[in-house]
Amino acid sequence: MSPVILIGMALTVFLTSLLSGVFGMAGGLILLWVLLLMMPVGTAIAVHGVIQMVANGSRAWFSRHYIDYRILGILCFGLAVSAVVLLAVDYAPNIIVVSIAIGLMPILVWLPVQRLQLDASRPSHSLVCGVISGALMVGVGVSGPVIDIFFIRTAMDRRKVIATKAATQLLAHATKVIFYWRAATVLPGSDWIAILFAAPIAILGTRAGNIILQRMTDANFRTWTRWIVTGVGGVYIVQGLQQLM
């Protein structure tokens, strides 16, 4: 990997981690889009998982006092169920399916979720969220928008939302790295060295994003989350349609 690409990777990791540090998911969507331009689908999802484990792990650590471990446990049980099912059917990702599926996800953040009464603090809802988000995380690489609709209307404040989602995402990304481990081994060692060099920069971006998060209001947090994720989704839809055509 050339020095120019290495610097570009490091900058991308920092900026996307900063964005995720503020909004909890948008940065991960952008980072995966960049990786899909550079690598095969399975490999990109695995590399994305490694970097996002660092980003989400640091975000969860910085906000560890706000994590709701009861919700986290139920979500992760649902995640495990989905991962086992996809492993049993020998699932393999496709760039068109991945792009269109991710592109359609932002629709979820515009749903009238107050009518659906979705609430991650309710055990049954947490389980459903874990199963659906787990299938998407392993199947297409991301699940942030799905997790968000179960949290965005809860009574939890933005810090508890970010902390619990980050802890969930940490374990979810670890799951997909294991799932796509064979695809990850096709990368040469030099590329992995560059990726492992860039990954810790995610901590700096996350820390910067966490500082911004503390200064935002809950209303601004929810509004900006919707518009940013919608914009990123539009890019994915265009990419998927281009591949289809």
Taking only the tens place, the pLDDT of each residue in 38-83 is 888 988 898 889 888 887 888 788 888 899 999 999 999 999 999 9
Q: Alpha-carbon dihedral of residues 31, 37, 41, 45, nearest 10 degrees?
A: -10
Which CA distances in Å does 174 have to 47, 51, 179? 11, 10, 9
* pTM confidence score: 0.79
Tokens (6 digits) for 33: 């889009």
| Burial status of residue 81 (CB atoms within 10 A of its CB: 0-12, 13-18, 19 or more) | middle
Q: pLDDT by residue (tens digit) across 52-64?
A: 888 788 878 888 8
Q: Which amino acid is at 98?
A: V
Closest listed residue to residue 41, CA positions, set 167, 183, 232: 183
Are the C-beta atoms of 48 and 28 separated by less than 8 Å?
yes
